[in-house]
Amino acid sequence: MIEKTKTTKFFREEFLDSEIEEMIKAGVQFGRLTSHLHPKMKEYVLGMRGRIHIIDLRETKKKLKEALEFIKQLVSEGKTILFVGTKIPAKEIVKEIAKECEFPYVVERWIGGLFTNFENILKRIERLKELEEKEKKGEFDKYTKKERALFEKEIERLKEKFGGLKKLEKLPDAVFIVDPTKERFCVKEAKKKGIKIIAILDTNSDPTQIDFPIPANDTSLSSLKYILNKVKEVILEEKK
């Protein structure tokens, strides 16, 4: 049993299994300021510590299991998951996990119309792949220095927006979001196109907008790593 702290007092000892202990150590339980609580998140809140809400990790454990089972099913069926996390703490870990799992990702600004105007977005992705292939083959050598510089500038601009989407050849079957409140436009487009939404969401978000909500601290790197590594394990295991 881990050492008692002001946080663990919220959890009765019989609920402190190894998984919940790990979540406590990762800081998964720390929600947002009490003044920022979304009314529909009340069922996932266990109590308060000062001005911070404490997330009920028994609910997190249950919801994470449901999400992982759905992800496992998607992977077994050869479906595609798009990972989205543009907030600073999430960028690198989301990119790393997505690349390891060979799934597309968005870690810069959300691309408006990615789902609702996918045909045009796909053209930009194809343009990036085309230019990179030409550069790789040395086909730019026949152009002037100024023209090559223009091509390089275009590649960098396209890479910044679409670099994580080169594996995306059709609309994804699901989207995994870190902080759906920040990524509200992604949520809106996904719902419009019938794309399933899995999300790590804090106490300031609306869980009813998410198909598979995972209540957890969505700002702490240790919390994000804990959950995203669980996601990675399921995906890589199923891909074997």
Please determine, for residue 11, whether its predicted confidence score (pLDDT) is greater than 70.
no
d(CA 82, CA 70): 14
d(CA 54, CA 197): 24
Domain boundaries, the chain: 1-115+171-240, 123-164
The domain defined by 1-115+171-240 folds into Rossmann fold (3.40.50)
Per-residue b or e along 93-123, where b marks 16 or more CB atoms closer than 10 Å to that residue's CB? bbbebbeebebbbbbeebbeebbeebeebbe
Question: What is the tens place of the pLDDT at every residue in 111-149?
Answer: 999 999 999 999 999 999 989 888 877 877 788 888 888
Q: Indicate the class that CATH gives domain 123-164.
A: mainly alpha
Q: Rounded to 5 degrees, what are φ and ψ at 198?
A: -115, 135
Q: What percent of the chain has pLDDT over 90?
A: 72
Question: What is the tens place of the pLDDT at every residue in 76-98?
Answer: 999 999 999 999 999 999 999 99
Domains 1-115+171-240 and 123-164 agree in fold: no
Please determine, for residue 4, whether its predicted confidence score (pLDDT) is greater than 70.
no
Per-residue b or e along 200-215, where b marks 16 or more CB atoms closer than 10 Å to that residue's CB? bbbbbbbbebbbbbbb
Q: What is the pLDDT of residue 1?
A: 28
Work out the widest C-alpha separation in the chain, in whole angstroms: 72
For the entire predicted model, the pTM comes to: 0.89
Tokens of 93: 């870990």
Q: What is the pLDDT of residue 104?
A: 97
- Report the pLDDT averaged over residues 171-199: 97
Please determine, for residue 231, whether its predicted confidence score (pLDDT) is greater than 50.
yes
Question: What is the tens place of the pLDDT at every residue in 49-79?
Answer: 888 999 999 999 999 999 999 999 999 999 9
